[in-house]
Amino acid sequence: MLGLNRVQNGTFNTDLSFWSAVGAATITHVAQAMHVAATAGGTGGGSALLSSVPGNYVLVYQVKAISGSMSIQITGSGGGPYLSPAVSVPGIYVLPVALNFTPTGIQAIARFSGATFDIDDISMKGDNMALATVGWEMTVTLADNGNGRTNLNYQLVAATAADAATAGGTIRTRLALVTGMSIMSYSLTERFEDATQVLPGDDGVQRENRAKLICNVDGFANKVETLYIPAPVIGIFEDTTGEAADRVDVTDADLISYVDIWRVTGALATLSDGEYLKDLATIRYGNRTHRASSFG
């Protein structure tokens, strides 16, 4: 769960309020986006952030059109600035950002003279989870002569990834001496837990409520993958009330950035069989569903 969006008017729905030109650049409002034309590198459009503190943030923005390259720069007091990697192709970009200074401003800037770009849906939300490591674990998958599978889990005494790898290797060697099953695979995982353990304050946040997404699989004409989002926020639906509140808004920027986890270009993960989602028309449609449960 992410906190408040610190960017003022990052959607540019009606105007460029809260934003102004920075350096040798002009900004104009074009098709619900901010158009930046720069005559020098490091110039663009900037805005003050809402009150923020040092910490972890998730930066999201959409580049609708671009000639040249651009970056997002976060300025502040006590350090910085932070400069995101340069991008030169349209797309939705999602970046985890760790700031060791107090962020006070955000700028969309050209990397070189002559760059132009249209930017939209800029958000910077704090990751309000105080995650801390609680150790390493290893899961080993074993198979018998009928390919029956079983898993064994080991809570490792290890402080680092190297220690975990060493301990895991020793355990697998010793396991092989006492079982006739074959070791088919294993995984090493560092576990993190939220030290604050704050539950959602909204009583409508229930795991039984889900958003069901039907998405197109890359390389196939008609193959689809079904994705589920537990307790979806109302912002990913077409409206807050009526029938539209049950229909997923397939153009929502936050939803698109989530589905991009499996999109073939820039994928962060694969589907269960190693496939990806299509680049274009990724989401066919989606709707709200409810899973039966005796708990609510």
- Quick: pLDDT tens for 87-119: 999 998 988 888 889 999 999 999 999 999 999
60: domain range? 2-127
In a domain, 200, yes or no: no
- In the chain, the amino acid numbered 43 is T
Tell whether the model's pLDDT for residue 187 goes beyond 90.
Answer: yes
Q: Which residue has the tokens 């979806």?
A: 232
pLDDT, one tens digit per residue, over 48-83 is 998 888 888 889 999 999 999 999 999 999 888 999
Assess whether 228 and 182 both reside in one domain: no
Assess whether 28 and 51 both reside in one domain: yes
For residue 46, which phi and psi values (nearest 5 degrees)? -135, 160
Assess whether 9 and 109 both reside in one domain: yes
Tell whether the model's pLDDT for residue 127 goes beyond 90.
Answer: no
Assess whether 55 and 93 both reside in one domain: yes
Cα dist from 215 to 128, 177, 208, 249, 265, whole Å: 30, 46, 21, 13, 15
The alpha carbon dihedral of 197, 202, 203, 206 has a sign of: negative
Q: β-pairing, 102-110 with 91-99?
A: unpaired
Assess whether 37 and 150 both reside in one domain: no
Residue-level pLDDT at 273 = 83
Query: 166-175, 193-202, 266-275: lowest mean pLDDT where?
Result: 193-202
The pLDDT-based confidence of 194 (bands split at 50, 70, 90) is low
The pLDDT-based confidence of 229 (bands split at 50, 70, 90) is very high
Taking the C-alpha atoms of residue 178 and residue 184, their distance in angstroms, rounded to an integer, is 16
**Residues contacting residue 203 through CB under 8 Å, at least 6 positions apart:** none
Taking the C-alpha atoms of residue 107 and residue 137, their distance in angstroms, rounded to an integer, is 42
The pLDDT-based confidence of 296 (bands split at 50, 70, 90) is low
Name the pTM for this structure: 0.56
Assess whether 28 and 120 both reside in one domain: yes
In a domain, 119, yes or no: yes
pLDDT, one tens digit per residue, over 137-158 is 999 999 999 999 999 999 999 9
Contact 218, 264 (CB under 8 A): yes
Question: Of the candidates 22, 64, 60, which has an alpha carbon nearest to the alpha carbon of residue 43?
Answer: 22
The mean pLDDT value of the chain amounts to 90
Q: β-pairing, 2-5 with 25-29?
A: unpaired
In a domain, 199, yes or no: no
For residue 236, which phi and psi values (nearest 5 degrees)? -90, 5
Assess whether 161 and 175 both reside in one domain: yes
Taking the C-alpha atoms of residue 163 and residue 198, their distance in angstroms, rounded to an integer, is 32
Tell whether the model's pLDDT for residue 212 goes beyond 70.
Answer: yes
Cα dist from 214 to 206, 229, 246, whole Å: 22, 12, 14
The pLDDT-based confidence of 86 (bands split at 50, 70, 90) is very high
User: What is the total count of domains within the chain?
Assistant: 3
The pLDDT-based confidence of 29 (bands split at 50, 70, 90) is very high
In a domain, 295, yes or no: no
pLDDT-above-70 percentage for the chain: 94
Residue-level pLDDT at 128 = 57
Taking the C-alpha atoms of residue 198 and residue 177, their distance in angstroms, rounded to an integer, is 45
Assess whether 262 and 280 both reside in one domain: yes
Residue-level pLDDT at 293 = 72
For residue 234, which phi and psi values (nearest 5 degrees)? -65, -25
Residue-level pLDDT at 195 = 63
Taking the C-alpha atoms of residue 61 and residue 18, their distance in angstroms, rounded to an integer, is 17
In a domain, 173, yes or no: yes
Taking the C-alpha atoms of residue 286 and residue 212, their distance in angstroms, rounded to an integer, is 5
Residue-level pLDDT at 287 = 96
Q: What is the CATH number of the domain that holds 42?
A: 2.60.120.430
In a domain, 227, yes or no: yes
Residue-level pLDDT at 178 = 92
In a domain, 203, yes or no: no
Tell whether the model's pLDDT for residue 275 goes beyond 60.
Answer: yes
In a domain, 204, yes or no: no
Taking the C-alpha atoms of residue 99 and residue 9, their distance in angstroms, rounded to an integer, is 22
Q: Of 127, 146, 177, which marks where a domain is finished? A: 127
Neighbours of 262 (CB within 10 A): 21
The pLDDT-based confidence of 131 (bands split at 50, 70, 90) is low
Assess whether 123 and 162 both reside in one domain: no
